[in-house]
């Protein structure tokens, strides 16, 4: 028996920025989950400092799952140390998946986040 999904799988949101020297003013919406049945996403996110003097740069991906706020968090606190994680998410229908760079840091960072719809 084949399983058929009405919405195609694949990359649905990306954030690929480099040369960042300060925090984002507010969260950036990468994707809004569709309505209907539970959908499964893979959230891949990483951060690296290409120049670093001090502080902590924090990259946070946020969504709501079963009415509870969920986060995937990575930080840069040293030069050329790549920090990344992969999370599976089943966001509530209509919820946004956002990304935001925060923190007080003297550094230049590169961030990458990819949201993939699996099913």
* pLDDT tens-digit map of 36-65: 767 899 999 999 999 999 999 999 999 999
pLDDT at res. 35? 79
Read off the pLDDT of each residue in 75-101 and give the average, rounded to a whole number. 95
pTM: 0.90
- Domain-embedded: residue 30: yes
- Domain-embedded: residue 4: no
pLDDT at res. 92? 94
- Domain-embedded: residue 68: yes
> Does residue 100 surpass a pLDDT of 90?
yes
Gyration radius of the chain over CA positions: 15
Return the percentage of the chain with pLDDT > 70, whole number.
92
pLDDT at res. 2? 52
The pair phi, psi for residue 108, each rounded to 5°, is -120, 120
- Domain-embedded: residue 79: yes
- Domain-embedded: residue 2: no
Write the CA distances from 66 to 2, 34, 40, integer angstroms. Answer: 28, 15, 13
With CA atoms as reference, report the closest residue to 97 among 106, 105, 88. Answer: 88
- Domain-embedded: residue 74: yes
Residue 104 makes CB contacts below 8 A (sequence gap 6+) with 23, 55, 56
Please tell me the total count of domains within the chain.
1
- Domain-embedded: residue 1: no
| CATH value at residue 42 | 2.60.120.260
Q: Which residue segment(s) compose the domain that 98 sits in?
A: 10-117
- Domain-embedded: residue 5: no
């Amino acid at each position: 028996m084949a399983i058929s999904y009405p919405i195609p799988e694949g990359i649905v949101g990306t954030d690929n920025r480099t040369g960042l020297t300060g925090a984002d003013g507010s969260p950036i919406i990468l994707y809004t989950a569709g309505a209907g049945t539970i959908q499964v996403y893979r959230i891949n996110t990483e951060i690296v400092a290409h120049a670093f003097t001090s502080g902590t740069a924090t990259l946070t991906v946020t969504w709501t799952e079963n009415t509870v706020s969920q986060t995937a968090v990575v930080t840069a606190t040293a030069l050329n140390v790549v920090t990344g994680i992969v999370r599976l998410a089943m966001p509530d229908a209509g919820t946004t998946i956002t990304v935001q760079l925060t923190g007080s840091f003297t550094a230049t960072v590169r961030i990458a986040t990819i949201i993939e719809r699996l099913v």
